[in-house]
Amino acid sequence: MGNNRQMILNFFMNSTGFHETAWRHPLAEPEGVTSLALYKKMALIAEQAKFHTVFLADAYELGEKVKHQALSRLEPYTLLVALAAVTERIGLVATVSTSYTEPFHTARLFASLDHLSGGRAGWNIVTTGIGNTHLNFSREQNFEHTERYNRALEFVELTTKLWDSWEDDALLFNKADGLYADPDKIHAIKHKSDNFSVEGPLNLPRPPQGYPVLAQAGSSEDGKELAARTGELIYTAQQTLKDAQTFYADVKSRVAKYGRDPEEVKIVPGFSLIVGATEAEAKEKEAELRESIIPELGLKRLSSRLKVDLFSYPLDGPVPQLPDPATINENRSRFELMKNMIESEQLTIRQLIERASGGNGHRTFAGTAVQVADEMEEWFTKAACDGFVIRPQQLPTGLEDFARLVVPELQRRGLFHTEYKGRTLRENLGLSRPVNQFARKTFEAGGIHQL
Amino acid sequence: MGNNRQMILNFFMNSTGFHETAWRHPLAEPEGVTSLALYKKMALIAEQAKFHTVFLADAYELGEKVKHQALSRLEPYTLLVALAAVTERIGLVATVSTSYTEPFHTARLFASLDHLSGGRAGWNIVTTGIGNTHLNFSREQNFEHTERYNRALEFVELTTKLWDSWEDDALLFNKADGLYADPDKIHAIKHKSDNFSVEGPLNLPRPPQGYPVLAQAGSSEDGKELAARTGELIYTAQQTLKDAQTFYADVKSRVAKYGRDPEEVKIVPGFSLIVGATEAEAKEKEAELRESIIPELGLKRLSSRLKVDLFSYPLDGPVPQLPDPATINENRSRFELMKNMIESEQLTIRQLIERASGGNGHRTFAGTAVQVADEMEEWFTKAACDGFVIRPQQLPTGLEDFARLVVPELQRRGLFHTEYKGRTLRENLGLSRPVNQFARKTFEAGGIHQL
């Protein structure tokens, strides 16, 4: 790691913030959930603050808790495209599942977004371990954990083939000779396996970035392997410096094992933040959000996640014994993380609800810009991360606070850039442009892959 | 049809125009194919001219003719979303296939676009009859013609259930009581058949238009039935006034047969245009495009469409005998239309290539604004259509010509509106807002469906 190393900041966006009931906050704008205006405002604040990316998560089912929780959302790829049209520099990362989409469609969508945005697209690859999603897709059951990850790996390889199916110089636009494209530089991919059979080529040119940036959040054993083989931007939930350092070293060494440069993989833990001008103000904001908590919602959510019926235990008593992580199919790593947190901190059910409401398993913190920057600096300089996913507990004001207070503090310390240095997201993240696997001659000559 | 009846105009958009080799024209901008700028420019011209919609077609395979033809394209839904973010009034219609997508995803995408655009979305429902598309989607063969249409009908019914799965007033945003939504107004759909099994509900609120406008282009027997049952905006290719009148009466009577109001279905034939300030200028533009023709491309394209090897016949000799339409699985109605045109006009192969290059089966016309308006007026007033799909043979200039010359002429004659009258696309097309099938009490009371 060089001396000029600076952190990567990603803004995790939703309509009202990442505290579970932040939509109840007086400054929240839940009515904005389906209109562009609210998201556009936030994307422009994030771009002004020089965030590397705006990131949107997804789920393919509503979930049961919409009575109390802001679960309604626009399809995130759609929203990201609209934001591409109204921003200029910020990266745009959306979640799309490898278990419930077609590789041809997914490759084409992200290629289209990459073109339209001038090389600012990123794809958060998820395998969708959530409960009843399969029931919305004519499937009797979800894929089992390992099968899901095997499919995901093949899916990603397949999409890279589709992106590479056009060499970078395949388009000719030669009006005089009537040559629109060079068919020798457009390749069928002829992918065939038990999971997928895709002939190719794609029906649009290779994305400006070669491939959109590949983001990934798996933290289970399977998840870390997938991240090590395919991921470039790794999202993770880490509660302590030590755990984050262990995860960081683990993933970087796995990356090396697959012959990849560990510098080409950026690890960015989530940080669920409340920022105040003073410590008292931060604590006051934290208390406001704590008051919005609906215990019934927390019990429902955590009972489902932890696979134990918390309704039958006293709210101020200890969390009961949890099942063995090996028996968990969905989001196993988050389960383990929460189990460890509960056991090491001996949380009561009420305390657990408060912790989980603010961060959903991610680290929570409330403080001044200096305190927040201190925390971030420590993690960043002690080999625990390459940057962060900023999850403001309350939106849009939490983003405004971070942009106004924390970003200048980080910049003052030299920890964060003051301007976008590249044109593409890859350039801004310090990731190289992938070599085209079908342009063999170019490849062997050590050619054009670093455009 | 009332006296104040005015025509619906749709702008069919692609990068360089609808003449097959228009990309070779000196004023064509083929390099703009993957960037937003060219499309944004055209969408704003179309909006300024008060076109009801901008429409984008699609295909899920590249096709073999990319050497000579501008076949590369952005995924149209993506492009439409980007255009939604930079326009305010024009409707936005994109093609998505019912044979190669999931109902849950498709319902969600168009609902998201409808929200983001403030009720301007339309979905062109296609069944994808094209050659080798199935090879890009892990399928050994395409669905057979009738099966494709049966699936399409079920798919559309299913997506309407998903759009209706949230009643219009399901969202509460009640901060004080912690009630985000009313779960009694959000419904599982529990759709189950051999084709699809979808539990629902959708994970976002009902679209502003209730449903996005449903466009459809099937002109075969199966296609017309699907249009009559589900379509609201019907695209069609018609060469003569008489054929157009027959089609118009046929579809409108089928609509009535299903208990729908024929006024709720708008029929808009394609019109492949070249407009000049004078007739001489129009003919000169036509000649320029004729010179761009690559005979080899025309032979390849037509041999594939007509299922006969035209390469083995003399270019200036007659078109050979064509197969029986009943043997054609893909795009059967277009096949029949071209067969009729060839036989009634006794075209040589070269003449056929020229005709097909300009219109791809749609009616072609080159003339002044007055001549074009005369043609349109005749069709419109003689019960042949409710409007048109304008397919400029050359883009972007052909759109500029139409907007500058033909639109004012139509407006002078009172045949075309001078301002958007509604906020949503439905309102501008004169289509009512669908009743929510799950809001039974409201429905029975004759309630809120005409918002």
A60: nearest CB among B78, B104, B195: B104
Total beta-carbon pairs less than 8 A apart between chain A and chain B: 222
Q: Is B178's CB within 8 Å of A112's CB? A: no
Asked if B199 lies within 8 A of A136 by C-beta distance, the reply is yes
> Are A178 and B292 a contacting pair at CB < 8 A?
yes
Does residue A200 surpass a pLDDT of 60? yes
Q: What are B131's two structure tokens?
A: 């050659």
Of B81, B118, B195, the CB nearest to A78: B81
SS3 A8: strand
pLDDT of residue A1: 45
pLDDT of residue A333: 79
- Judge whether A295 and A353 are in contact, CB under 8 Å: yes
Residue B142 has pLDDT above 90, yes or no: no
Residue A442 has pLDDT above 60, yes or no: no
**In chain A, what is the straight-line distance between the N-terminal and C-terminal CA atoms, in Å?**
23
Task: Tell me what the mean pLDDT of segment A141-159 comes to.
Answer: 92
Pick the CATH number of B8-281+363-444 from 3.20.20.80, 3.30.200.20, 3.60.20.10, 3.20.20.30: 3.20.20.30
From CA B204, how far away is CA B171, in angstroms rounded? 10
Which residue would you say has higher pLDDT here, B3 or A372?
A: A372
By residue count, chain B amounts to 451
Residue A95 has pLDDT above 90, yes or no: yes
Please list, in sequence order, all residues whose beta carbon lies within 8 angstroms of the beta carbon of residue A356, skipping any fewer than 6 positions away.
A20, A298, A301, A302, A338
Q: How far is residue A233's CA from residue A213's CA, in Å, rounded to a whole number?
A: 7
Residue B64 pLDDT exceeds 90:
no
Is residue B147 scored above 60 in pLDDT?
A: yes
Q: What is the mean pLDDT of residues B89-112?
A: 97
Instruction: Answer yes or no: is pLDDT of A440 > 70.
Output: no
pLDDT higher than threshold 90 for residue B256? yes
**pLDDT-wise least confident of B50-59, B61-70, B274-283:** B61-70
CB-nearest partner of B113 from A21, A78, A112: A78
Residue B446 has a pLDDT of: 41
Query: Of A315-329, A425-439, B78-92, B369-383, which gets the smallest average pLDDT?
Result: A315-329
Diameter of chain B measured on Cα atoms: 80
HSE-up of residue A275 (Cα within 13 Å, Cβ side) = 27
Section B11-33 average pLDDT: 97
- State residue A384's pLDDT score: 98
Mean pLDDT of A9-18: 97
The residue with greater pLDDT, A23 or B218, is A23
Decide if pLDDT at A215 tops 60. Answer: yes
pLDDT of the residue at B141: 87
Of the two residues B355 and B417, the one the predictor is more confident about is B417
Contacts B105 to A, Cβ<8 Å: 60, 100-101
Judged against a pLDDT cut of 70, whether residue B328 lies above it is answered with yes
Going by C-alpha positions, the residue among B109, B105, B106, B108 that lies closest to residue B81 is B109
What chain A residue is nearest to B292 in terms of C-alpha separation?
A178
The reported pLDDT for the residue numbered A441 is: 54
Q: What is the pLDDT of residue B3?
A: 60
**Residue list, annotated binding site of A for FMN:** 58, 95, 145, 149, 219-220
Distance CA B292, CA B277 (A): 22
pLDDT tens digits along B265-321: 999 999 999 999 999 999 999 999 999 999 999 999 899 889 999 999 999 999 999
For all residues of chain B together, what is the average pLDDT?
Answer: 93
- Mean pLDDT, rounded, of chain A: 93
B211 is in an annotated binding site: no
> Each residue of B176-213: pLDDT tens digit?
999 999 999 999 999 999 999 999 999 999 999 999 99
Q: Which regions of A161-300 does DSSP assign to beta strands (E)?
A: 171-174, 179-181, 191-192, 197-198, 213-216, 233-236, 266-276
CA B124-A203-A112 angle, to 5 degrees, is: 75
Q: What percent of chain A has pLDDT over 90?
A: 84
Residue A3 confidence class, pLDDT cut points 50, 70, 90: low
Domain ranges for chain A: 8-278+363-444
Q: Measured between beta carbons, which residues in chain B are less than 8 angstroms from residue A115?
A: 34-35, 74
Instruction: Give the residue-averaged pLDDT of A260-281.
Output: 97
Q: Mutate which of B73, B74, B142, B155 to test chain A, going by most A C-beta atoms within 10 A?
A: B74
What is d(CA B439, CA B446) in angstroms, rounded to the nearest whole number?
11
Min Cα separation A263/chain B (Å): 31
Residue of B81, B137, B205 with shortest CB distance to A72: B205
Q: Write the DSSP assignment of B196-223 as a string of letters.
A: -EE----SSPPPTTSS-EEEE---SHHH
Query: Stretch B155-176: mean pLDDT, rounded?
Result: 97
Give CA torsion, residues A260, A266, A269, A273, to 10 deg.
180
What CATH number has the domain spanning A8-278+363-444?
3.20.20.30
pLDDT value for B326: 86
Write the secondary structure of B331-368 as one string of H (helix), E (strand) and C (coil): CHHHHHHHHHHHHHHCCEHHHHHHHHHHHCCCEEEEEE
Q: CB distance B68–A200 less than 8 Å?
A: no
Structure token pair of residue A358: 């603010």
